[in-house]
Chains A and B, each alone.
Chain A
Amino acid sequence: MTVTPAAAVAAFSRRVAATSFLAGAMQAVLVVSSGVALLELALRCLGLHLAPRPIWAVLLVPVLAGGWWRQRRERLDATVAAGHLDRRLGLHGLLLCAREGQALEPAWSAHLHERLLALPAVLPRPRWRKLLVLPMLALLLAAGVSLLPAPPGAAEPPKLQARTAELDRIAEQLRDLFARGDLPAETQREIEQKVQELRQKVEAGEVPEWRDLDQLEQQLERAELLAAASREGNDGGGSGSERDGGLAKSPTPEALAKTAAALAAAGLLDEMPAPLAAGLRAAQAADGSFDPKALPQDAAGLRALAEAMAAAAGQSLGELAQRLPPEQLADLRALVEGQGLQGDDVEGVGRGGVDRGPGHAALDMTEDAQGGAEAALALPPGVALPGEWVPVGDRRTEPVVQPENNPTAGSAGAGGMGGATWQLQLAPRHRAVVQRFFDATTATGRGK
C-alpha cells in the first residue's frame, strides 16, 4: 500500500493535534481536580461536606475547552508538519519538494514512497508519563476526598433544610387530610407523587424552587376546599355563607361540648335560641360539663348548634376576656372564627385593625398622649377659635446687662477681644522689633 505525501502529512498533523488536545484536557483535569480537592478539603475544615452529584458533570466543560484551546494553539500547518515529517523520515527535503508541487523523477519518487512506508514508526507518540501522571494523581486525590464519608455534624445547606421542612409539612398535611377523608384518593395520589418528585430532587442535591412548593400547597388547599364543598353538597346544603365561602368547619360533638362548657361558664346559654339552649342544658351534667353523646350527632344539627353558639359568643367576646380563663376563651374564639364570624374584640378589617401584611398591627387613630407638644389644648368655654394671630399681652422690660471680664486679657493677641494694647504680651521675636523702633525714635529725636 502506498502512502501519498499529502496523506502522510495529514496523518502527522492529526496525530499532533490529537496529542495536543489530550495534553490540554489533562492540564485542565489537573487544574479542575486540584481545585475540587482543595475546595473539598477546605469545606471539611469548616465542618461541611460536598457530596458528588450529577451536576458535577459540568466540570467536563473546562476539560474539553482546555483540550480544544491547546489543540488550536499547537496545531501545525501543512508546511510545518511536512518539515517535521521530512526530517523524521530522513528525506532531506524531498517531501517538502513533493508537497510544493515539484515533479519528481521516478527514482526520487520511488525513494520517497519507500521512506513513506515507515510512516507509522515516525508518527509522533504521546509522552504518556508526562501527560498523565500529575492529572491522574490529582483526579484520584479529588475522587478520594469527595468519596470520604461526610464528617460528623456536616449539615445540609440551609436552603435544602428549609425546603425539606416544607415538604415534610405538606406531606404530613396531606396524610392528615386523607386520613380524615377530606381528600379524594386520586387527588391524594397526585399530590403525593409531586411531593415525592420534589423530595427526590432535594435528595439529589438540587434546590427546588419555592414556586413549586407554593403551587403544591395551593393545590392541596384547593383540593381540600373542593372536597369540603362537595361534602356539603352531599349533605343537602348549608347556610348561604358556607356555600359561598366554604369557610365553615364541620364541628364535632366533642368540640362543641367543650365549647358549650365555656359558653355556660360565661352565662351565655340564654343568648341562644331557646330550643337549642334547652337541648344544651339537657346535655349538661352536674359538674357543668356537657356530654357529647347528648348533643346532636348529625352534621346539620351540629352545624346549627355551632352557629347558634358562635352567634351568642361573638357578641361579647371582648367582655368575656375579663371573666373566662384563657383556655375557654380560646375555645370560644375558635368556634366563632370557625363559623366565619368575628368577635367584637377582634380588630379586623374595618375595625381599625390590619389583618394582612407582615404582622398584625392595630391602628391607633387617637392622640390622647399626655404631655406631648401636640397635645390638644382645650379652649375656654365660649371662646371661638381665632382666625388669625391676636396679641394676648403687652409688657416692657429693660435688658439685663452683665458685663464680663475678658478672660484672655493680657495674653498674646488678646484673642481678638479688643484688650488694651499695653496689656498685650509680645512674643520675643516681636519684642526686639518694637524695642529697636523706639530706640531709633529716641536717637533721632523724632519722638520728642
Chain B
Amino acid sequence: MTTMLTAAQVERGRQLLARVQDGCNAVLLGQRDLVDMCVMALCVRGHLLLEGLPGLGKTELVKAIGRLLGLAFRRVQFTPDLLPGDITGGPILQDRGGNRQFVFQPGPLFANIVLADEINRASPKTQSALLEAMQERSVTVLGETHRLPLPFFVLATQNPIELEGTYPLPEAQLDRFLFKVEVPGVDADVMTQILTSRRRGEPPALEKALTAAELDELFSLVDAVFLPQAVANYIARVCAATHPHRADSPPEVRKAVRFGASPRAAIAIGEAARAAALLAGRPNVDFDDVQRTARPALAHRLVLQHTAVVSGATPAGIVRAVLDAVPAVRKPLPEVVS
C-alpha cells in the first residue's frame, strides 16, 4: 500500500503550476489551453513541438517559459544549411600550456531549455542530431558521450509542412516529442487586447517564477500522482485502438491509419495525464485527464495512408474517433440499465 498525495501537497503543486501558467498567460494572450499543454509537458520533462503559422507567438511563449523557470536557455534558429555539429558542438584545436589539443566545445544543445526555432527548415540530418539528446539527454561526438544538463527540454516550433522550404520531421524524431500542439489563431477581442496593451508587440517583462528547488519539488509532486490500474488500462486500449489491423479498432483507423501509436505514446499519455491531474487539483489520474492529453500526445505519432491524407483525414480527427470509440471503463454497462 502506497500513500497518495495529500490535499496540501496537491494544493502546493497547483500553486507552483499556477505561477508558471500566469506568467505564460501574461505573455501569450487568449491561449490558455496552449499554455496548459506547455506547462504539462514541462512538468513531466517532455519535449514540446509547437506548430503554427508565423506570428502567432510560438517563439515568445517558449522564451517566456525559459525566463519563468530561470533555467539556462539557448535558442537555435534552424536553417537549411545548419549542420549537426552546429548544435551539438565539436572538438576545437586549442593551445593549452604549449600543447595543442582538441577540446570539446559544447554547442547550443548544452542548456536546460533549447528553443529549436523553425525546426523543420533544417535538413533531416540535422534534425536527427537531436534524437540522442532528446531521448538519452546526452550527446556523442567522436565517440565521446557528454551528458546534457538536467532538466533538459527541447521546445521546438515548426511551420506547417505546406510552407516552402520545409522538411518534414522523421517519424522517429516526432515520436520523441511528448506533445505536438497546434497554435491556433486568436480572435478579434484578443487581438484588440494585444494592440492596446503591447507597444510594438513587446511582451511584459517577466520575473523568475520558480526556483530550482521549487522546480524539483514540482517534478516530484507530479511523479507522485497515482495512476490507477483501470485508467492505465484505458490508456493502453486507446493506443491499441490506433492500430489498423486490430479487430476492435474504429473504422476510421482501419481506413486511414498506416502505423499506429507506439508504447512510447502510451507512456507519454500516462505521464502527461499525471500533470493534468495535478493541474486539476487531484492526487490521481482520471479518465478525463487521459482524454485531455491523448490528442496532443497521439496525433503526431500516427502515420496515415496517403489516400487518407489526400481525402482530408487528419490525425486529430482519427484520435477523436478513437476516443469516441473506446469506452473509458473496459466493459460498458448493459443497455438495459440506465
Chain B contact-residue range equals 20 to 34
Q: B283 — nearest CB in chain A belongs to which residue? A: A108
Chain B at the A interface: mostly helix, strand, loop or mixed? loop
Interface mask (B295-338 → A, CB under 8 Å = 1, otherwise 0): 00000000000000000000000000000000011110111111
Inter-subunit contact A80/B329 (CB<8 Å) = yes
Task: Provide the residues of chain A in CB contact with B333, threshold 8 Å.
Answer: 16, 76, 84, 124
* Cβ-based interface call for A338 (8 A): no
Task: Provide the residues of chain A in CB contact with B230, threshold 8 Å.
Answer: 79-80, 82-83, 96
Inter-subunit contact A108/B334 (CB<8 Å) = no
Inter-subunit contact B284/A97 (CB<8 Å) = yes
From residue A22, how far is it (CB to closest CB) to chain B in Å?
8
CA distance A80 to B334 in the complex (A): 12
Q: Of A79, A102, A130, which is within 8 A of B336 by CB?
A: A130
Task: Provide the residues of chain A in CB contact with B331, threshold 8 Å.
Answer: 76-77, 80
* Cβ-based interface call for A127 (8 A): yes
From residue A57, how far is it (CB to closest CB) to chain B in Å?
26
Task: Provide the residues of chain B in CB contact with A96, threshold 8 Å.
Answer: 228-231, 284
The winner among B277, B287, B328, B333 for most chain A CB atoms within 10 A is B333
Q: A125 — nearest CB in chain B belongs to which residue? A: B338
The B120-142 residues at the A interface (CB cut-off 8 A) are none
Inter-subunit contact B338/A102 (CB<8 Å) = no
From residue A73, how far is it (CB to closest CB) to chain B in Å?
9
The A137-173 residues at the B interface (CB cut-off 8 A) are none
Q: A111 — nearest CB in chain B belongs to which residue? A: B7
CA distance A130 to B335 in the complex (A): 9
* Cβ-based interface call for A63 (8 A): no
Q: Of B231, B288, B328, B334, which is within 8 A of A23 by CB?
A: B334
Task: Provide the residues of chain B in CB contact with A103, threshold 8 Å.
Answer: 1-4
* Cβ-based interface call for B285 (8 A): yes
Chain A at the B interface: mostly helix, strand, loop or mixed? helix
The A76-124 residues at the B interface (CB cut-off 8 A) are 76-77, 79-80, 82-84, 87, 92-94, 96-97, 100-105, 107-108, 124
From residue A19, how far is it (CB to closest CB) to chain B in Å?
5
* Cβ-based interface call for B286 (8 A): yes
CA distance A126 to B336 in the complex (A): 6
Inter-subunit contact A87/B328 (CB<8 Å) = yes
Interface mask (B213-251 → A, CB under 8 Å = 1, otherwise 0): 000000000000010111100000000000000000000
Task: Provide the residues of chain A in CB contact with B226, threshold 8 Å.
Answer: 97, 102
Which residues of chain B have a CB within 8 Å of any CB of chain A? 1-7, 226, 228-231, 277, 280, 282-288, 328-331, 333-338
Inter-subunit contact A87/B329 (CB<8 Å) = yes
Inter-subunit contact A124/B6 (CB<8 Å) = no
The winner among A15, A80, A97, A127 for most chain B CB atoms within 10 A is A97
CA distance A74 to B4 in the complex (A): 33
The size of the chain A interface, using a CB distance under 8 A, is: 34
Contacts A102-B1, A127-B337 given; indicate if A107 touches B6 (C-beta within 8 A): yes
Inter-subunit contact A101/B1 (CB<8 Å) = yes
CA distance A19 to B338 in the complex (A): 10
* Cβ-based interface call for A33 (8 A): no
Inter-subunit contact A104/B1 (CB<8 Å) = no
* Cβ-based interface call for A265 (8 A): no
CA distance A93 to B10 in the complex (A): 15
From residue B273, how far is it (CB to closest CB) to chain A in Å?
10
* Cβ-based interface call for A131 (8 A): yes
26 A-B pairs whose Cβ atoms sit less than 8 Å apart in the complex: A15-B337, A16-B334, A22-B336, A83-B328, A92-B280, A92-B286, A93-B277, A93-B285, A93-B286, A93-B287, A96-B228, A96-B229, A96-B231, A96-B284, A102-B3, A102-B4, A103-B1, A104-B4, A105-B3, A105-B6, A105-B283, A108-B7, A108-B283, A125-B338, A130-B335, A130-B336
Q: Of B231, B277, B328, B337, which is within 8 A of A124 by CB?
A: B337
CA distance A83 to B328 in the complex (A): 8
Inter-subunit contact A84/B2 (CB<8 Å) = no
* Cβ-based interface call for A259 (8 A): no
CA distance A80 to B285 in the complex (A): 16
* Cβ-based interface call for A20 (8 A): yes
Contacts A97-B228, A103-B3, A107-B7 given; indicate if A131 touches B336 (C-beta within 8 A): yes
The winner among A23, A79, A84, A92 for most chain B CB atoms within 10 A is A92
Interface mask (A39-62 → B, CB under 8 Å = 1, otherwise 0): 000000000000000000000000
- Besides A80-B230, A126-B338, 5 more A-B contacts (Cβ < 8 Å) are A20-B336, A94-B283, A96-B284, A97-B228, A103-B1
From residue B274, how far is it (CB to closest CB) to chain A in Å?
12
CA distance A23 to B330 in the complex (A): 21
CA distance A124 to B335 in the complex (A): 11
